């Protein structure tokens, strides 16, 4: 029999604006877990906001810090981790997360993501003339990566408390039941 995955943590992945931080914070509270946000870890390491890292050092420098932040979580337990929207487009980040966490993708379509992000200014990749077009293109490019999550939860037209309950339920099923998630369940 293959070794069951060691699920000690929960990682939320998905596009900018899909709700990883708000949902993650709420799920962490319900599970009694610590909430960590990889963007916050990167900012703490760099000493400047993500937008400034992009500005001053470029996206590659940000991705390096992000990779190190994610790798640094492998030995920790009892975490709910919100990842940056681009993190799991790099295979090594997804592989790292899957070594210790149930990876749950929060899904929403481009229009919903645009609605949720259009008044925010802290995401360098969306500070463009036509952010909806950027979101459509990036989402299409990233979707195959997001679909490699263990579980995909559609957040469209669902109140946040329902999404929180679903994420929590999926985590309890996989960590408590001792199962080995190996394919994405969509709910």
Q: Binding residues for ligand S3P, per CB under 6 A?
A: 16, 20, 39, 50, 84-86, 123-125
Alpha helices, DSSP H, located in the chain: 20-31, 38-46, 50-57, 59-71, 91-98, 110-117, 131-146, 160-176
Q: Which is nearer to ligand S3P, 43 or 150 (CB)?
A: 43
Count the alpha carbons within 13 Å of 156 in the hemisphere toward its beta carbon.
Answer: 11
Nearer of residues 22 and 180 to ligand S3P, judged by Cβ: 22
Contact 14, 107 (CB under 8 A): yes
Candidates 66, 62, 73, 67; CA nearest to 10 is 73
C-beta of 16 vs 26, nearer to ligand S3P:
16
Q: Minimum distance between the CB of residue 120 and ligand S3P, rounded to whole angstroms?
A: 8
The distance of closest approach from Cβ of residue 86 to ligand S3P in the complex, given in angstroms and rounded to an integer, is: 3
Whether the Cβ atoms of residue 73 and residue 79 lie closer than 8 Å to each other: yes
* Backbone CA torsion sign across 88, 35, 41, 73: negative
By beta-carbon proximity to ligand S3P, the closer residue of 167 and 174 is 167
Structure tokens belonging to residue 160: 């946040």
Which residue's CB atom is positioned nearest to ligand S3P? Answer: 84
Least spacing, CB of residue 77 vs ligand S3P, in Å = 23
Considering the complex, what minimum distance in angstroms separates the CB of residue 14 from ligand S3P?
Answer: 8
Pick 108 or 174: Cβ nearer ligand S3P: 108
- What's the min distance (Å) between Cβ of 153 and ligand S3P? 16
């Amino acid at each position: 029999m293959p070794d069951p995955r060691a699920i000690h943590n929960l990682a939320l992945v998905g596009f900018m604006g899909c709700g990883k931080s708000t949902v993650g914070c709420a799920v962490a509270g319900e599970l009694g877990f610590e909430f960590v946000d990889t963007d916050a870890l990167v900012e703490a390491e760099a000493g400047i906001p993500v937008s400034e890292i992009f500005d001053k050092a470029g996206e590659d420098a940000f991705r390096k810090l992000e990779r190190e932040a994610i790798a640094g979580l492998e030995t920790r337990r009892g975490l709910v981790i919100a990842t940056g929207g681009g993190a799991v487009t790099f295979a090594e980040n997804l592989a790292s997360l899957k070594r210790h966490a149930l990876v749950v993708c929060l899904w929403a379509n481009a229009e919903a993501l645009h609605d949720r992000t259009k008044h925010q200014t802290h995401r360098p990749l969306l500070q463009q003339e036509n952010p909806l077009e950027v979101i459509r293109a990036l989402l299409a490019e990233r979707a195959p990566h997001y679909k490699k999550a263990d579980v995909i939860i559609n957040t469209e037209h669902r109140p946040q408390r329902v999404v929180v309950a679903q994420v929590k339920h999926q985590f309890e099923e996989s960590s408590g039941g001792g199962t080995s998630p190996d394919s994405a369940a969509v709910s």
